[in-house]
């Protein structure tokens, strides 16, 4: 199968492919000074992520294969200052740690930063309880190791070592799910900007090592890590590792309209991969997002108290439900999609704690009922569907 056919069949393209035209345009548009090893200027990286604010940008000098002007859409819904601080941290060659509740687009922001700065977000380690030090440093091709002994050819570099040798960004997802002794493999890498491979000592190979078996970081190398606040205490980071990172908190989306638009856009993109349009009414999406925000914050938009469920009511979960509603309409017939909302909400709420079903019922008996009594037709219909949630 050809590479082109493989890409066309991909469910989701990586950011550097999905936004290749924008990245090429921004490289031509902003020709100002760039940190060593960077593909774009820091200003262009920020523009790539937060958008051009509806303005069309124009290149000063024509470049082959690049349009003369382009409007850059926003890809991350959040505070511009957060993105700017993240970019400055990376430009200063200090590790960046994005922390926040699950579903706040930390991984997406990490990928966008890596794509804009390095041209790829693929140099990624997924942190789990089973992640070993080899995943952050290096391993061996044991067939070659037995045949030829320790050599560069037999070395199996981690994504972090590959990024270090090539001057690109490495990503470590869910770093606090790694065991502390595994996490600490990053300490010397972030402070010394080099990685030693003692097994290669005494070999005469390699011109990118300061000495045999010692790899030095090329300009542009850095690490972006992410961590969920819900994982605090799973594998607490050491004080030494914390000092190597600048921490940036990624909060939930503050504005209702912005979150509704994001959910609609993300779900619409998912449905488009089925060659269908998103047939979910805007009022249904707004009701869903409003319920998520109420349950997530512990307070309704009107100021009424709401008992928060144990599970995280993230924007990503809202996208998932909206996509499911869209798929149901596409393949099983539209019907009354609003009548399906309580069932999908219940499935989301019960993920972590069965007692959260009672909390959702309490939300229905308080906030949803109050809105129904105030005369809102949609919320009156939702309250009539209370039986779907059980007792």
Residue 207 has pLDDT above 80, yes or no: no
Dist. CA 191–CA 255, nearest whole Å: 39
What percent of the chain is predicted at pLDDT more than 70?
94
pLDDT tens-digit series, residues 113-125: 999 999 999 999 9
Q: Which helix (H) or strand (E) holds 164?
A: helix 159-166
Residue 8 has pLDDT above 70, yes or no: no
pLDDT tens-digit series, residues 39-88: 999 999 999 999 999 999 999 988 999 999 999 999 999 999 999 999 99
CA distances from 1 to 5, 8, 195 (A): 7, 11, 37
| pLDDT (0 to 100) of residue 232 | 65
Count other Cβ atoms within 10 Å, centred on residue 252: 19
pLDDT tens-digit series, residues 143-190: 999 998 888 899 999 999 999 999 999 999 999 999 999 999 999 999
CB-side neighbour CA atoms (13 Å) of 256: 15
| pLDDT (0 to 100) of residue 154 | 92
pLDDT band for 235, please (50, 70, 90 cuts): confident
pLDDT band for 229, please (50, 70, 90 cuts): confident
Q: Is the dihedral of CA 336, 341, 346, 352 positive or negative?
A: positive
DSSP state of 209: E
Count other Cβ atoms within 10 Å, centred on residue 33: 9
| pLDDT (0 to 100) of residue 187 | 95
Count other Cβ atoms within 10 Å, centred on residue 11: 6
CA dihedral 207, 210, 213, 214 (to 10 degrees): -130
């Amino acid at each position: 199968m050809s590479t082109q056919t493989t890409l066309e069949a991909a469910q989701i393209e990586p950011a550097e492919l999905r936004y290749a035209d924008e990245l090429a345009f921004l490289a031509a548009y902003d020709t100002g000074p760039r940190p060593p090893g960077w593909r774009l200027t820091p200003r262009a990286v920020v523009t790539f992520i937060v958008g051009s604010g509806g303005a069309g940008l124009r290149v000063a000098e024509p470049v082959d294969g690049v349009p003369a002007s382009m409007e850059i859409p926003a890809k991350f819904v959040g505070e511009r200052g957060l993105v700017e601080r993240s970019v400055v941290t990376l430009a200063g060659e200090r590790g960046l740690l994005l922390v926040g509740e699950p579903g706040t687009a930390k991984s997406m922001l990490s990928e966008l930063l890596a794509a804009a700065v390095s041209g790829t977000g693929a140099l990624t380690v997924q942190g789990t309880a089973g992640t070993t030090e080899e995943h952050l440093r290096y391993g061996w091709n044991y067939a070659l190791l037995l045949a030829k002994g320790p050599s560069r050819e037999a070395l199996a570099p981690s994504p972090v070592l590959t990024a270090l040798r090539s001057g690109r960004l490495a990503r470590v997802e869910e770093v606090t799910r790694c065991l502390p002794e595994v996490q600490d493999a990053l300490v010397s890498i972030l402070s010394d900007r080099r990685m030693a491979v003692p097994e290669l000592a005494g070999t005469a190979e390699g011109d990118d090592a300061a000495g045999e078996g010692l790899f030095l970081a090329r300009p542009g190398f850095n690490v972006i890590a992410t961590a969920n606040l819900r994982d605090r205490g799973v594998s607490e980071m050491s004080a030494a590792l914390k000092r190597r990172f600048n921490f940036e908190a990624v909060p939930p989306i503050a504005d209702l309209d912005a979150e509704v638009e994001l959910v609609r856009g993300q779900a619409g993109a998912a449905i488009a991969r089925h060659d269908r349009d998103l047939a979910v009414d805007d009022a249904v999406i707004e009701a869903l997002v409003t319920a998520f925000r109420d349950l997530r914050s512990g307070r309704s938009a009107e100021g009424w108290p709401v008992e928060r469920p144990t599970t995280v009511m993230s924007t990503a979960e809202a996208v998932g439900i909206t996509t499911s509603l869209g798929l149901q309409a596409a393949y099983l017939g539209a019907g009354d999609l609003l009548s399906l909302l309580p069932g999908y909400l219940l499935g989301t709420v019960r993920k972590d704690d069965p007692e959260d079903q009672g909390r959702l019922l309490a939300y229905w008996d308080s906030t949803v009922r109050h809105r129904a009594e105030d005369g809102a037709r949609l919320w009156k219909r939702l309250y009539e569907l209370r039986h779907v949630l059980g007792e």
